[in-house]
Amino acid sequence: MKAAGGEAAARVTDIGSPRQARALVRFAVRRYGRLDLLINNAGILGPRVPISDYPIRDWQRVLRIDLSGTFHMSRESSRVMAAQGHGCIITLSSSVGRVGRAGWGAYAVSKFGVEGLMQVLADELRSVGVYAMTFNPGATRTAMRAEAYPREDRDRLRHPSLSARALLQLATNASPAISGKAFDLENLP
């Protein structure tokens, strides 16, 4: 980002807290004067066990971060973007958020939830120039992927920079035609 002339600022935030999510959005607006893009990427995996064995505390924690946190950030950001008359919200998803698979529990449920959340936001905000969509990066070399597949050869996975470029492409080309859609890195032109 810096090489392209951009600037980044970091702030530790519990996005599962509506108050902290609101504070983060306000921080960004104060610092930059506007909010053009939100990429919802925060998430946790949770245990890989059957639903019948899923610990309730873990279930609640995963949904609090992965689904409610995405809601809080999207809600606060969409208010700013709607007032500006433009903006883009992209939420990272997963193949297990489109087709349920055994052992993915709360993580899969949260990803199904964010798929729906982005469709609803897209429909609500399209007329004010704010676009929302999901993006599935697929098998990517991340700590979460290593946690989910500890025996997998990381060298065979995509580097995260490929997803970063794809997200930039989606944000740059955001329009009513693509708002509400679910994208996969593998299927982007």
Q: What is the CATH number of the domain that holds 98?
A: 3.40.50.720
- pLDDT at residue 189, rounded to an integer: 66
Residue 154 has pLDDT above 80, yes or no: no
Residue 149 has pLDDT above 70, yes or no: no
In this structure, is residue 62 part of a structural domain? Answer: yes
Residue 170 has pLDDT above 80, yes or no: yes
Residue 159 has pLDDT above 90, yes or no: no
- pLDDT at residue 40, rounded to an integer: 97
Domain boundaries, position 76: 13-183
In this structure, is residue 4 part of a structural domain? Answer: no
- DSSP-derived pairing of the beta strands 130-136 and 87-92: parallel
Number of domains in the chain: 1
- pLDDT at residue 65, rounded to an integer: 95
Q: How confident is the model at residue 127 (pLDDT cuts 50, 70, 90)?
A: very high
In this structure, is residue 3 part of a structural domain? Answer: no
Q: What is the arithmetic mean of pLDDT over 34-42? A: 95
User: How is residue 179 written in tokens?
Assistant: 């708002």
- pLDDT at residue 116, rounded to an integer: 98
Q: What is the arithmetic mean of pLDDT over 131-144? A: 80
CA distance 24 to 182: 26
Residue 161 has pLDDT above 80, yes or no: no
Helix H, strand E, coil C: the string for the chain is CHHHCCCCCCCCCCCCCHHHHHHHHHHHHHHHCCCCEEEECCCCCCCCCCHHHCCHHHHHHHHHHHHHHHHHHHHHHHHHHHHHCCEEEEEECCHHHCCCCCCCHHHHHHHHHHHHHHHHHHHHHHHHCEEEEEEECCCECCHHHHHHCCCCCHHHCECHHHHHHHHHHHHHCCCCCCCCCEEEHHHCC
* Residues recognised as catalytic: 107
Q: How confident is the model at residue 160 (pLDDT cuts 50, 70, 90)?
A: low
In this structure, is residue 58 part of a structural domain? Answer: yes
**Model pTM score:** 0.91
